[in-house]
C-alpha cells in the first residue's frame, strides 16, 4: 500500500522496503539529504539521479519535518 508522506514523497513497501522516496522514483530521501550534506550540488544530484530541484527541496522539507518531531533528552 502506497502512502503519501508529504508533497512528492511516498512510502511503498514494494519500493526499498517502504523507505521514503521521491515519488515516481526509487531515490530515497536519505540519499538526497546525505549527498547534499556531503557537498554535492543540487544540479549534480538532479542530473545523477534524474530528479528535479523541486524533488530535492521536497526531500529536505520532509527530512526537516521528521527531525522537528524528534525529542532529544540528556542523560545525567
CATH number at residue 41: 1.10.10.10
Mean predicted confidence (pLDDT) in 42-51: 98
Place of cell 528535479: 52
Residue 20 CB burial class (10 angstroms; 0-12, 13-18, ≥19): buried
Beta-carbon-side half-sphere exposure of residue 27 (alpha carbons within 13 Å): 22
Q: Cell for 1?
A: 500500500
Number of domains in the chain: 1
Say if 40 falls within a structural domain: yes
Q: For residue 12, name the pLDDT band (cuts at 50, 70, 90).
A: very high
Residue 39 domain flag:
yes
Residue 73 has pLDDT above 90, yes or no: no
Write out the residue range of the structural domain in which residue 23 sits.
3-69
Amino acid at each position: 500500500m502506497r502512502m503519501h508522506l508529504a508533497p512528492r514523497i511516498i512510502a511503498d513497501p514494494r519500493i526499498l522496503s517502504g523507505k521514503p522516496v521521491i515519488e515516481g522514483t526509487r531515490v530515497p530521501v536519505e540519499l538526497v539529504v546525505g549527498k547534499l550534506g556531503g557537498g554535492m550540488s543540487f544540479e549534480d544530484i538532479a542530473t545523477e539521479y534524474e530528479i528535479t530541484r523541486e524533488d530535492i527541496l521536497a526531500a529536505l522539507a520532509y527530512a526537516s519535518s521528521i527531525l522537528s518531531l524528534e525529542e532529544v533528552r540528556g542523560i545525567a
